[in-house]
Amino acid sequence: MLDQIVFYFFAALAVISAVLVVTRRNIVQSAIFLITALLATAGIFLQLHAEFLFIVQVILYAGGIMVLFVFVIMLINLDVSLHQVQFNRQWWLGLVLALALGAQLTVAIAVGRSGLPLGEPAPATMLEPSTELVGKVLFSEYMLPFEIASILLLVAMIGAVVMAKKKV
Amino acid sequence: MADQRVPFATHADSTVLGADEIVLNMGPQHPSTHGVLRVKLRLDGEKVIGSECVIGYLHRGVEKIAEHRTYTQFAPYVDRMDYVAAVSNGLGYCEAVEKLLGAEAPLRARVIRTILTELQRIASHLFWLGTHALDIGALTPLFYCLREREEILKIFEKYCGARLTTHAFRIGGLQYEAYDEFEKDVERFCKPFDKRVDEYESLLTGNRIWVGRTKGIGILTAKEAIDYAASGPVIRASGVKWDIRKAMPYAAYDLYKFEIPTGKNGDTFDRYIVRMEEMRQSRLICLQAIENIPAGPIMGKVGKVLKPPPGEVYHAIEAPKGELGYYIVSDGTTQPYRVRIRPPSLINLEAFDKMIRGHLVADVVAIIGTLDIVLGEVDR
Amino acid sequence: MHSLIDFLLTYWVQLVCAVIIVAVLPLVAGYIVLMERKVMADMQARLGPMRVGPHGLLQPIADALKLLIKEDIIPDEADKAIFWVAPLISVTAGMLAMSTLAIGPWFQIADLNIGLLFIVGISALGIFGIVLGGWSSNSHYSLLGALRSAAQLVSYETAAGMAIVGALMLAGTLSTREIIATQNDYGVWFVFAAPVGFFIYVVASIAETNRAPFDLPEAESELVAGYMTEYSGFRWALYFLAEYTNMVVVASIATTLFLGGWLRPFAGTRAFNFLDFLPSVLLLGVAGYCFYRAPKQPVKIQKMVLAAVGAMIILVALILAAPLLAPAGSFVASMKAGLHGAFWFLLKVGLYIYLFMWLRFTFPRYRFDQLMRLGWQFLIPLSIVNVMGIGVALVLHRHFGWSHWTAFPLTTILTLAVAGLLAAAGEKQEKTHAIVGEEA
Amino acid sequence: MPSQYIPILIFAALAAAFPAVTLVLFRFIRPTPVAVGAKLKPYECGVEAEGDTRGRYSVRFYIVAILFVIFDVETTFLFPWAVLFSTRHEGFRLEPVYALASMFVFLGILIIGYVWLYRKGALEWV
């Protein structure tokens, strides 16, 4: 009962904020709603007993990437963008795409329900030390991707600086 | 609204990463422009690419007032210029008028004047140190400095009844005889004072942050300092050994031995060191002077009504902030025809733009602090 | 109804803790401000607040009342909604971060598997309050302050995170409770095993809470009041509350991770059990001072207030002493863990905050580029090396069977050597990248 | 919802409500703002602000932010590793030499990047 209330609360929060992100004209307000949407998603992770994922979502997305967004927003002249025409010439295309995606998802869930254990969270006891669990898998089975990730970070680091430095 | 909307393409460049030039006003109501100085900064990010000092918020027309007062009446007005060094202002004015009159104060008066002026220099430097350190973020030295300054102000109070705008001297000498405990008070202050200066230095000089904030900031080379007609500690920190107390001795400075501390790099740190050393030297002068205050009258032979012969005179003294000059033109009446004051703060402030360019916003306060300006004197 | 009672029965301890934190925290923040002013006054040869209550003891309450009823000004050109919300974000994030702190073995809202990460992650959200507040004010000073603040926070967050990683390698858990338990098992606080990590955390935590010498965002001599420039009255107070809450949070993290949390010094050694009496003796001393000062107060009411404060402190001292004197096994004796744990924890937090204050009143302020250089070019590499050093020490100990006493000092010395190299390189860098004035 | 989080949820509600409610409640006690004109202007040391306050600021902030995100990801990877290094959950603990080696490779690659940044002067503020 409580679980469901909490789930619907977070889900509704995520969906409504997500809609507000794209409809708000003021880009800073959009950013705030994006943060809310990300945090609500984190809440849903938490409800699935994925504690570590929850906090990573909070630290990396809400804490890290959103700071980057907010900084970039402040590097843009807001008053100009506030008065710009929004990209809404292709709204009908967007609508068609959204409907198609929605239909696709509905069908997929309806057809593949047996394969997707929805609404059946794994027993809490099994997932208790979630950080350790994530770590264990990460540092044994996915060792190579993990090391490759560091190369990815290296590339990102260099790319960001090269791009930003050129513009100065 | 609709007409304000512009097509996206024309403003594409506005989304390119880059900084606009920002105009930031520091002052007139700002915590660290030492009064009502307004500095208009042009910033690229945090880097200062240009500056303009807007002054005049404290203009009171001191020079004009002089034309409608007698020589004696005008004397208290000069105290209000550099209000943290009123004694020095008064000394400059009194000596200028004495020069115009062709009179000289008796030796005893000149010695007492020297002691009080040197105490005033210490007080002014203490006030500078406290506020300068506060600007750079060190909270504590201010209170230590004010504690010591208080002792000096007490001596002034005992001597002439006033603490800040003292009107300590009169044209031709002194009105007040040194009070009984005068020598003892000065000695009691001066004896332990070098330890106090060491104490301030131990808080600041060796501190990495302090050195980082002041070394290499606001450099003024010797040539530039001369070109800008800078004076006082500002020019001495650039390595120019220029001190009016030595170059054109006045009061009783020729009687005492003291050094002129100079710097090498002309940066904020050197100006700090120079002023610290000057405090020590002033202490030495005071100690030498109280050893032997000659007996004799304290008032020279000047009439009740001062009527200098027509002519003009320029007299400069080494005020705590630099060369404080009085240019007085007399037309033979009881009131000066024209008084022009060369305030050291104003002239030193000229170099501000040169010093700040290329530095960061944070350095603005360090450089304003190091110039040791008083807006009362800049605006007059 | 039934389920509600069930709910309350299950969670009453946590709920009481939650209410206490929310209700008491503003008061605590107020008294930290008073402590700060008193400590500052003491270091600066003056008295500090003396008027409201004896020795200014009631000053925080007067301040709080004043701030609550001050006129509420929202600038014309501000983005009203964001201006309204921004300080709330800061305060909520700060308070929420306290929820997994274990203030003594009894007082904790929730012990999470990810406890420490939860604190770090949630308290980092406070940045948004600062950035949005500064942006919405529509003033140069506010925006510059906010951007500086955010840049500073994120720059030092990595260093702080790395320092925490170093301690976590020793602890092997993220739960605050278990971290302290581990230190009890080892018999040594992690500050002694990872002193460099502690140092990094101290510096980074000062920077993260915007305290001097890293208080650039609100450097009053440059940016007037930074992101708070346009704020006044209660909203301004909320930012202050957030700042002091964050101070308590970082002090608590440091206490938990490095200073043994609620453990008494030498908690494992029986010979030092007499230290259990230290809390009571300390408090009795303070109470004695109150009684000594009370008759010297100028007004009768102040004498009474100070005496009442002294009596209260004696009461607390007695409460702390009671479990020690009660017969073993009784209920009163069983309270020792909770009460003494809370005392030691709060004492350590207080000392950590005192260290903040001490540094604030001693040091001048960094310039922004210097601050960034310190963060990016000294602390971050040092913290990475610190993590490696602790790893090497642990491997030497576990795999190669070296003793603690050789492995940890060895790697600490190596880390310090790297720190020296970094400092030297930084000095060189400072010279090559020095900002010089333009040629005229 | 893991049960430990329920009190936290309630605490979050309390922590969010307390300042907001106080702010709203005391509106009835506070004097109504009568401020007009200059009092409601943004502070610019007593003169009119020049130029757009919401103009663009230094691109440096952007570099700092993006580097922060990268280092933040790195730290996040380190957290589970650090916990596994000496966790008490038997069966999870990594073999120390293996764990250290894997992290040395990871950090080593990043240190290469860091040194590049350092050399390039990207870590300098101005």
pLDDT digit string, tens, across residues B290-345: 888 888 888 888 878 888 888 888 998 988 888 888 999 988 888 889 889 988 88
Contacting residues for B125 by C-beta, under 8 A, at least 6 apart: B275, B276, B278, B279, B282, B320
How high is the pLDDT of residue C210?
A: 82
pLDDT (tens digit, 9 = 90+) per residue, B307-322? 888 888 899 898 888 8
- Report residue A43 as tokens: 């809440």
Pairing label, strands B169-170, B173-174: antiparallel
A129–C113 CB contact, under 8 Å: yes
Rounded to an integer, the average pLDDT of C213-235 is: 75
Mutation target to probe the D interface, by most D beta carbons within 10 A, among B15, B23, B53, B360 is B23
CA gap C245, C25 in Å, rounded: 7
pLDDT (tens digit, 9 = 90+) per residue, C181-199? 888 888 788 888 888 889 9
Residues β-bridged to residue B322: B319
How high is the pLDDT of residue C5?
A: 80
Contacts of A28 in chain C (CB under 8 A): 79, 82, 132, 135-136
How high is the pLDDT of residue A103?
A: 94
Give the predicted TM-score (pTM) of the model: 0.85
Rounded to an integer, the average pLDDT of D3-28 is: 82
End-to-end CA gap in chain C: 80
Q: Does A165 touch chain B (CB under 8 A)?
A: no
Q: Is the pLDDT of residue C206 over 70?
A: yes
How high is the pLDDT of residue B164?
A: 87
Higher-pLDDT residue of C393 and A168 is C393
- Report residue A51 as tokens: 């504690």
> Phi then psi for B236, rounded to 5 degrees?
-70, -35
How high is the pLDDT of residue A116?
A: 60
Binding-face residues of A in 41-80 toward D, CB within 8 A: 46-47, 49, 51-52, 56, 59-60, 63-65, 67-68, 71-72, 74-79
Does residue C302 form part of some domain? Answer: no
How high is the pLDDT of residue C440?
A: 39
Q: Closest by alpha carbon to A46, among D70, D72, D8, B329?
A: D8
Q: Is the pLDDT of residue B89 over 50?
A: yes
Nearest to B357 among C361, C370, C438 (CB): C438
Confidence of residue A100 (pLDDT cuts 50, 70, 90): very high
DSSP code of residue B15: G
B11–A75 CB contact, under 8 Å: no
Q: Is the dihedral of CA A58, A60, A64, A70 positive or negative?
A: negative
How high is the pLDDT of residue A17?
A: 92
**Amino acid present at C58:** L
How high is the pLDDT of residue A16?
A: 93
Confidence of residue A85 (pLDDT cuts 50, 70, 90): low
A154–D110 CB contact, under 8 Å: yes
Q: Which helix (H) or strand (E) holds C200?
A: helix C195-208
pLDDT (tens digit, 9 = 90+) per residue, A25-47? 777 788 888 888 998 998 888 88
Does residue C211 form part of some domain? Answer: yes
Nearest to D126 among B25, B30, B360 (CB): B360
pLDDT (tens digit, 9 = 90+) per residue, B112-161? 889 999 999 999 999 999 888 888 888 888 888 898 899 899 998 888 88
Higher-pLDDT residue of C58 and A83 is C58
Pairing label, strands B38-44, B21-26: antiparallel
How high is the pLDDT of residue A165?
A: 66
Choose the weakest-confidence range: A53-62, C60-69, D84-93: D84-93
**What's the domain count of chain C?**
1
Pairing label, strands B322-330, B336-342: antiparallel
How high is the pLDDT of residue C54?
A: 82
What are the domain boundaries of chain A?
1-79, 127-168
Q: Does B26 touch chain D (CB under 8 A)?
A: yes
Rounded to an integer, the average pLDDT of C13-31 is: 84
Does residue C79 form part of some domain? Answer: yes
Residues C213 and B137 sit within 8 Å (Cβ to Cβ):
yes
How high is the pLDDT of residue B170?
A: 85
Q: Is the pLDDT of residue C101 over 80?
A: yes
A77–B7 CB contact, under 8 Å: no
End-to-end CA gap in chain B: 50
Q: Which helix (H) or strand (E) holds C398?
A: helix C380-398
Choose the weakest-confidence range: B69-73, C129-133, C219-223, D22-26: C219-223
How high is the pLDDT of residue B6?
A: 38
Which ipTM did the prediction report? 0.81
pLDDT exceeding 90 applies to what percent of chain A?
Answer: 10
- Report residue C58 as tokens: 């009631």
- B211 exposure class (CB count in 10 Å sphere: 0-12, 13-18, 19+): middle
Q: Is the pLDDT of residue C330 over 70?
A: yes
Helix (H, G, I), strand (E, B) or coil at B287: helix
pLDDT (tens digit, 9 = 90+) per residue, D100-109? 888 888 888 8
Choose the weakest-confidence range: C122-126, C250-254, D23-27, D57-61: D57-61
Higher-pLDDT residue of B283 and A163 is B283
How high is the pLDDT of residue A9?
A: 87
For chain B, give the mean pLDDT.
84
Residue A73: how many CB atoms within 10 A of its CB?
A: 17
- C337 exposure class (CB count in 10 Å sphere: 0-12, 13-18, 19+): middle
DSSP-derived secondary structure for B170-210: ETTEESSPPPTTHHHHHHHHHTTHHHHHHHHHHHHTT-HHH
**What own/partner pairs with CB < 8 Å and gap ≥ 24 does D93-98 have?**
D93/C172, D94/A136, D94/A139, D96/C394, D96/C395, D96/C398, D96/C399, D97/C395, D97/C399
CATH hierarchy code of domain A1-79: 1.20.120.1200
Residues β-bridged to residue B44: B21, B47
How high is the pLDDT of residue C220?
A: 63
How high is the pLDDT of residue B17?
A: 42
> Phi then psi for A45, rounded to 5 degrees?
-55, -45
Confidence of residue D50 (pLDDT cuts 50, 70, 90): low
Q: Does B361 touch chain C (CB under 8 A)?
A: yes
Q: Is the pLDDT of residue C253 over 80?
A: yes
- Across D24-58, b (16+ Cβ under 10 Å) vs e yields eebeeebeeeeeeeeeebbbbbeeebeebbbbbbb
Does residue C222 form part of some domain? Answer: yes
Question: Where in the sequence is the domain holding C76, given as residue range(s)?
Answer: 70-263+361-439
Residues β-bridged to residue B315: B326
- Report residue A98 as tokens: 């959204």
**Amino acid present at C192:** F
Confidence of residue B58 (pLDDT cuts 50, 70, 90): confident
Confidence of residue A81 (pLDDT cuts 50, 70, 90): low
B6–A168 CB contact, under 8 Å: no
pLDDT (tens digit, 9 = 90+) per residue, C25-43? 888 888 998 988 898 888 8
C366–B136 CB contact, under 8 Å: no
Q: Is the pLDDT of residue D1 over 60?
A: yes
Confidence of residue A123 (pLDDT cuts 50, 70, 90): low
Q: Is the pLDDT of residue A102 over 90?
A: yes
Helix (H, G, I), strand (E, B) or coil at B6: strand
Helix (H, G, I), strand (E, B) or coil at C365: coil
**Amino acid present at C202:** V
Rounded to an integer, the average pLDDT of C130-137 is: 84
